[in-house]
Amino acid sequence: MDRKRIEWLFFIIFLLIDIYLGIEIWRSPISLSNTSGSTATSIRAEMRADGIDVPLHISHKQQSGYYLAVKNRDYLSGKSSGLTQVTTHYSKSDNSLTGTPKSMILLSGNRKNNMQQLEDFKNDPKNVPYGKTFKFEPSMSGDNTYCYVQNTDYGRIYDSDAQLTINVRNNQITNYTIYYMGPIKAVREPQLIISAWHAVKAMYTDREIANNSRVMRVILGYSKLTDVRGSTILLPTWLIQVENKTTKNITVKRVNAFTAQILQGSSYNVNVQKN
Amino acid sequence: MIGMKSKFKLGDALLLLGTVAVFVLSIVLWIFIMTNDQYFNHINQTNRVTEQTKNRRDRIASNLYIPTNSYGFRNGQLYRLYDAKKNLPLEFVKEVKGVRYRSINKISTGKKQYEKMLHDENCIQLSFPKEVSINLFTRKSVKKDDVQFRRVFVTDSNNYLYLGNDKTYTVYRVHLIKGNFSKLRNYASRAQGRVPVEFVRLKNCYEVFFTKQDHWKIYSYLTNTQTDSYFVSRLLGTTNVTTRSNKKGWTTYSLNYYTNLRVPKAKTERHDFHYTRYEKRKDISLNEQLLESVDFVHKLGLSEQDLRYFDTINDSISYINYIEGIPVFWDKNNPQVATTFTEDAVKVDFNNTDLQIPIPFDGQTKTLPTSTAVMQRLVNAGMRKNEIQRIIVAFKVEKDKSHDHLVNLVPGYYVKAYDEWKSLAEWEKVDFLALNKYRQTLTEEGK
């Protein structure tokens, strides 16, 4: 009887082993994803040791990006006549247009409703030229300043020359200022760009992230590169928002998403009073 | 009683038989796994440095060894597909990244079947400039006897990919797990740029022949030229480097007797740099050699964004920048980088200038004849038809006088024959009578 029990035991154990091995063979696990787990972990550990906090879920996925170009023209000066619901002032020096509503536009006071009212305001071509091409950017907005950035088929442009800022005071739209770069075109077909994590890593290894700071947000957007033959060239960049844990200052730095190099002189500080 | 006893014994015997069977099966399965090297891909390297080097090499290789062009049919006509918003070869590479490979089988080796596959109107084709192997493309040991291919056929099925080797007329079927090429199919069907082409059999491959005289765009780029010191520090380091100049316009930087970098003097306006490291040739496979050359390419620190594997001639592996699927030749007919593994040295020849920023197209074009007309011109000049290996359209870099760092990429025909790349104009100047005679002597001596 004991011998029979032992035989059953052997039978079941080996059957389970066979099933396991069979599943292993069936799965034929040849994965193509080149995980660089150990490298990522060690850099994360080094960053932690330097007091740098990085969001847990930062993408390792490579995307594609374009070189974009826009013709350097004055797109706003001729738009004043169509803006019948605002009084306008065009500044030739910085190619910007300021609009002040002719009649009072009261906002409801509730942030969500305010957003919808502002959206309706900017999308009306009698108020704001090219308004529909601008998208709200919360990281650049404050209590009384609502910032929108120029959006394209390829992504958002993060540049002072492609921005719409609507100012609000006492629940009332006081005025807006718009900078518009023009219609954007891709110069060449898309190419692979580095992942968000690669950009953070590049910034860290280039000692561009100070110790005792926090990486708050990493977003992909287009930034100005250079002017040539009457056009402005833009390229995909990772915008990395870093907060100093002590001073609470927030700095945004840009990493060239093609080459992983830091765009020198392109960083700026964010001074936002959040709700 | 006897019946019960025999029943009892039968049950015992079955149990014993079953136990032995599962035991033997487990040994068989275990041996199968242990002898199949696919399963060892997951064994972690203890040496982190080796692992990191491998990861870096894989990442770079995955950008260098990718298809450069895509083709598809519409109403029975074959087109070279191009879309300014979607890079089709890149989409394919993205879609193939999540795929797992179950098996690879040879399904045909005949010319007729191969040409049938080439002209299958339901397929999207992606081509490499030169044969690569499945293990190199996937960076995994998918198949022991590595399969060489130059063409990928994406059919309506997500479960299979087909690989084609022009040279041997072999078609392989790859069984996939989790394949999904719907985006690629979608983009290919909507691709805006369509240039009518046909496949013509040349010496070792099916070449893409442009069937219409066409206006080809002249693109412009801002370039970035790195200094000697940049390459000296990357290739030789910063200490113990000696410098020696000669009257022929070269400066040689040496780390030791075995390692040096020869650069043209700034005044010569040349950009061909030559790095040499003397070392005994390792006995490695072509694949390993291709991967090893990646390390040298990366070490140079040039932009790798548009750089693709282009060709292997004898022991020289060349990499070229591809703009919109068209290769770019520097100077006369130099690639961006060429690594050569000889018996006692590794040589890296490269251009120190990068194509950095693309400039918007300004409307300039150049009219090029059909590929057939080009072939006829070569034959008329005396080139033997069976010596023509490739006929392609490529860009030649020309300086733009309006700006210091501005260059124009002017399209033109380039031909590979007698194992050498030259522009059409250069080939037309060759004394084919002498060349053919010389080749014939070589062949006879070889016999």
Tens of pLDDT, residue by residue over B324-378, are: 999 999 987 889 999 998 888 999 999 999 898 999 988 999 999 999 999 999 9
- B138 contact A CB<8A: yes
How far apart, in whole angstroms, are the C-alpha atoms of residue B164 and residue A170?
A: 70
Nearest to B337 by CA among B391, B291, B273, B396: B273
How far apart, in whole angstroms, are the C-alpha atoms of residue A254 and residue B338?
A: 33
Q: What is the pLDDT of residue B391?
A: 96
Tens of pLDDT, residue by residue over B222-279, are: 998 888 899 999 999 888 888 887 777 889 999 887 889 999 987 777 888 999 998 8
Q: What is the pLDDT of residue B153?
A: 96
Q: DSSP characters for B135-195?
A: HHHHTS---SSPPEEEEEEE-S-SSEEEEEETTTTEEEEEEEES---HHHHHHHHH-SEEE
Query: Which tokens belong to B10?
Result: 């039968």
Q: Which residue of B has its CA nearest to A233?
A: B359
User: Which of A21, A24, A30 should one mutate to test binding to chain B, selecting the residue with the greatest count of B CBs within 10 A?
Assistant: A30
B344 or B39: which leads in pLDDT: B344
Q: Sort out which chain B residues have CB atoms less than 8 A from A186's CB and list them.
A: 84-85
Binned at pLDDT 50, 70 and 90, residue B41 comes out as very low
- A39 and B52 in contact by Cβ < 8 A? yes
Which amino acid is located at A136 in the chain?
F
Q: Sort out which chain A residues have CB atoms less than 8 A from B99's CB and list them.
A: 32
- Sign for the CA dihedral angle at A32, A38, A43, A45 comes to positive
Q: How far is B359 from chain A (nearest CA, A)?
A: 7
- A31 and B177 in contact by Cβ < 8 A? no
Q: What is the pLDDT of residue B441?
A: 85
Q: How far is A213 from chain B (nearest CA, A)?
A: 27
Q: Which residue of A has its CA nearest to B103?
A: A28
Q: Sort out which chain B residues have CB atoms less than 8 A from A22's CB and list them.
A: 29
Whether residue A158 contacts residue A266, with contact meaning beta carbons closer than 8 Å, is answered with no
Reduced to 3 states, what is the DSSP secondary structure of residue A176?
strand
ipTM of the prediction greater than 0.85, yes or no:
no
Q: What is the architecture, at CATH level 2, of domain A74-179?
A: 2-Layer Sandwich (3.30)
How far apart, in whole angstroms, are the C-alpha atoms of residue B309 and residue B61?
A: 9
Reduced to 3 states, what is the DSSP secondary structure of residue A38?
helix
Q: How far is B365 from chain A (nearest CA, A)?
A: 16
According to DSSP, the β-strands at B388-399 and B406-417 are: antiparallel
Q: What is the pLDDT of residue A62?
A: 83
Tens of pLDDT, residue by residue over B9-18, are: 788 888 888 9
Q: What is the pLDDT of residue B243?
A: 85
Which residues neighbour B125 within 8 Å (Cβ) at sequence distance 6 or greater?
A: B70, B71, B72, B118, B151, B152, B153, B154
How far apart, in whole angstroms, are the C-alpha atoms of residue B218 and residue B43?
A: 50
Q: How far is B210 from chain A (nearest CA, A)?
A: 21
Mean pLDDT comparison of A228-237, A259-268, B288-297, B429-438, highest-scoring range: A228-237
Facing residue for B101 by CB, picked from A30, A36, A64: A30
Q: Sort out which chain A residues have CB atoms less than 8 A from B29's CB and list them.
A: 18, 21-22, 25
Q: Which residue of A has its CA nearest to B307?
A: A191
Q: How far is B245 from chain A (nearest CA, A)?
A: 34
User: Is the pLDDT assigned to residue B44 strictly greater than 70?
Assistant: no
Q: Which residue of A has its CA nearest to B41?
A: A30
- B360 contact A CB<8A: yes
pTM reported for the whole predicted model: 0.79
Facing residue for B303 by CB, picked from A21, A25, A259: A259
Q: Sort out which chain A residues have CB atoms less than 8 A from B138's CB and list them.
A: 30, 32
Nearest to B84 by CA among B234, B190, B237, B206: B190
Q: Sort out which chain A residues have CB atoms less than 8 A from B16's CB and list them.
A: 7
In B57-76, the residues whose Cβ lies within 8 Å of chain A are 58-59, 62-63
- B15 and A11 in contact by Cβ < 8 A? yes
Residue ranges per domain, chain A? 37-68+185-270, 74-179
Q: What is the pLDDT of residue B194?
A: 84
CATH among 3.40.50.720, 3.40.50.970, 2.40.128.690, 3.60.15.10 for A37-68+185-270: 2.40.128.690
Q: Sort out which chain A residues have CB atoms less than 8 A from B84's CB and list them.
A: 186, 188-189
Q: What is the pLDDT of residue A175?
A: 94
Calculate the alpha carbon distances from A152 to A182, B88, B266 in Å. Answer: 10, 21, 43
Facing residue for B22 by CB, picked from A15, A30, A192: A15
DSSP state of B282: P
Q: How far is A209 from chain B (nearest CA, A)?
A: 23
Q: Sort out which chain B residues have CB atoms less than 8 A from A34's CB and list them.
A: 55, 58-59, 62, 139
How far apart, in whole angstroms, are the C-alpha atoms of residue B191 and residue B185?
A: 10
First to last CA, chain A: 78
- A28 and B100 in contact by Cβ < 8 A? yes
Tens of pLDDT, residue by residue over B85-123, are: 888 998 998 888 878 888 888 999 999 999 999 999 999
Q: What is the arithmetic mean of pLDDT over B297-323?
A: 90
Facing residue for B360 by CB, picked from A62, A64, A231: A231
User: Is the pLDDT assigned to residue B145 strictly greater than 60?
Assistant: yes
Q: How far is B56 from chain A (nearest CA, A)?
A: 9
Which residues neighbour B354 within 8 Å (Cβ) at sequence distance 6 or greater?
A: B223, B224, B225, B226, B302, B303
Calculate the alpha carbon distances from A267 to A94, A159, A237 in Å. Answer: 20, 11, 12
Q: Helix (H) and strand (E) counts for chain B?
A: 11, 25
Q: What is the pLDDT of residue B98?
A: 78
**Secondary element (H or E) of residue A2:** helix A2-27
| Percent of chain B whose pLDDT exceeds 90 | 47
Q: What is the pLDDT of residue A121?
A: 93
- The residue assigned the tokens 């990281």 is A139
Q: Sort out which chain A residues have CB atoms less than 8 A from B19's CB and list them.
A: 7, 10-11, 14
Reduced to 3 states, what is the DSSP secondary structure of residue B295?
helix
According to DSSP, the β-strands at B388-399 and B326-329 are: parallel
Q: Sort out which chain A residues have CB atoms less than 8 A from B55's CB and list them.
A: 34, 36, 39
Q: What is the pLDDT of residue A240?
A: 94
Facing residue for A186 by CB, picked from B12, B84, B142: B84
Q: How far is A239 from chain B (nearest CA, A)?
A: 20
Instruction: Find residue A86's DSSP bridge partners.
Output: A101
Q: What is the pLDDT of residue B42?
A: 43
In B13-42, the residues whose Cβ lies within 8 Å of chain A are 15-16, 18-19, 22-23, 25-26, 29-30, 32-33, 38-39, 41-42
Mark the ranges of chain A whose per-residue pLDDT is less than 70. 1, 27-41, 265-275
User: Which of B43, B55, B146, B178 should one mutate to test binding to chain A, selecting the residue with the greatest count of A CBs within 10 A?
Assistant: B55
Binned at pLDDT 50, 70 and 90, residue B72 comes out as very high
